[in-house]
Amino acid sequence: MRPIRHDSSIVEFQRKRGGDCAAFFVPFLTSGMILLDAGCGPGTITAALAGLVAKAVGVDIEPNAIAAADRLAAAESLTNLSFVEADMTALPFEDEAFDAVFFHAVLYHQSQAVLTRALAEARRVLKPGGLIATRDADVGGNVLHPDIDGVRLALDLWQRWYEHDDPDALRFGRRQSSILRAHGFTPVWTGASYVNHSADATSRSEAVADARRSLLGFGPQLLRKGLATDDEIQTALAGWDAWGRDPDAVYFRCRCECVARKD
Ligand SMILES: C[S@@+](CC[C@H](N)C(=O)[O-])C[C@H]1O[C@@H](n2cnc3c(N)ncnc32)[C@H](O)[C@@H]1O
């Protein structure tokens, strides 16, 4: 599995995500359900979902993420919400303990072996008829404008990094339905929506900061593996800076969504 860093800036970035990330799942939820948010990060989405179900539990392997989630639950005085530091491939719950399991921006990070174990665990802890919902990236669906050489190079570097591990990693989103079916679930709904990184100057500068953080994060590993040069990384960073200075620049990131049932 690729290392996932959890410094405070990443937790802060994820904290901005809210219930809109799970909007597609809301029509399937009812007030009596017990829900698991697997790979919950700082718990923002879990907290939004807790308002719709009887009980919500978030698990994450990263202690910093769980600490942030616990602070959120305490600040919002939510009594039907709890967080547990745990590995989604070895969940500390009884069989058939949950009505719903949610994965947001978690599964596309994973190796095939971890994906298979995580989905097997989701199946185990779901009640018969329970629902799994997944929402993940698909780079092929992104809308990015204007076409700047450095930004195109940045995306190419990103692709070199991901395809180095798994040629299908960047098209994970569109494959969710077939992946869930292959792991024993019956898909009942699929869809997609966009994350808007260009609503205004603030969201554009956040997008640039995120792109810089990501490039600087995996850049040294690309260099070590001989997959990029330092000049390329500098050009890519400059490309994102140029994109951020264009008041008409847009960046809409595609997120594919799937709901499936354990029969
Ligand atoms: C991109 S973040 C998404 C967080 C949250 N779902 C959200 O969308 O805001 C991916 C999360 O998955 C967690 N994660 C990765 N591998 C995990 C594992 N094996 N078990 C539990 N959590 C894991 C990471 O620690 C991280 O918080």
3-state SS track over 120-142: HHHHHHEEEEEEEEEEEECHHHC
Answer whether 60 contacts ligand 1 (Cβ < 6 A): yes
pLDDT 10s digits, 205-215: 999 999 999 99
Per-residue pLDDT, averaged over 164-169, amounts to 76
- Supply the pLDDT for residue 2: 41
pLDDT over threshold 70, residue 42: yes
pLDDT over threshold 90, residue 23: yes
Answer whether 46 contacts ligand 1 (Cβ < 6 A): no
**For tokens 């669906």, what's the residue?**
141
18 pLDDT band (50/70/90 cuts)? low
- Supply the pLDDT for residue 4: 41
- Supply the pLDDT for residue 53: 97
pLDDT over threshold 60, residue 221: yes
**What is the number of alpha carbons within 13 Å of residue 96 lying toward its C-beta?**
4
Answer whether 62 contacts ligand 1 (Cβ < 6 A): yes
pLDDT over threshold 90, residue 166: no
- Supply the pLDDT for residue 167: 76
φ, ψ of residue 220 to 5 degrees: the values are -60, -35
Per-residue pLDDT, averaged over 39-66, amounts to 96
Per-residue pLDDT, averaged over 125-131, amounts to 98
Strand partners for 51: none
- Supply the pLDDT for residue 170: 83
Q: CA–CA distance from 134 to each of 19, 45, 91, 110, 159 (Å)?
A: 14, 13, 17, 13, 22
pLDDT 10s digits, 53-91: 999 999 999 999 999 999 999 998 889 999 999 999 999
pLDDT over threshold 60, residue 5: no
Q: Which residues contact 231 (CB under 8 A, 6 or more apart)?
A: none
Q: Which of 86-90, 115-119, 188-192, 217-221 has the lowest mean pLDDT?
A: 217-221
> Can you tell me which atom of ligand 1 is nearest the CA of 44?
9
Per-residue pLDDT, averaged over 5-28, amounts to 67
Residue from 2, 20, 61 whose mutation best tests the ligand 1 pocket (most atoms within 8 A of CB): 61
- Supply the pLDDT for residue 211: 94
Q: What DSSP designation does 196 have?
A: E
Mean pLDDT value across the chain = 92
Around Cβ 178, how many Cβ atoms within 10 Å?
A: 11
Around Cβ 227, how many Cβ atoms within 10 Å?
A: 15
Question: Are the C-beta atoms of 42 and 83 separated by less than 8 Å?
Answer: no
Domains of the chain, CATH where assigned: 1-136 (3.40.50.150), 138-167+193-255 (no CATH)
Atom 10 of ligand 1: nearest residue by CA position: 106
CA distance 43 to 16: 10
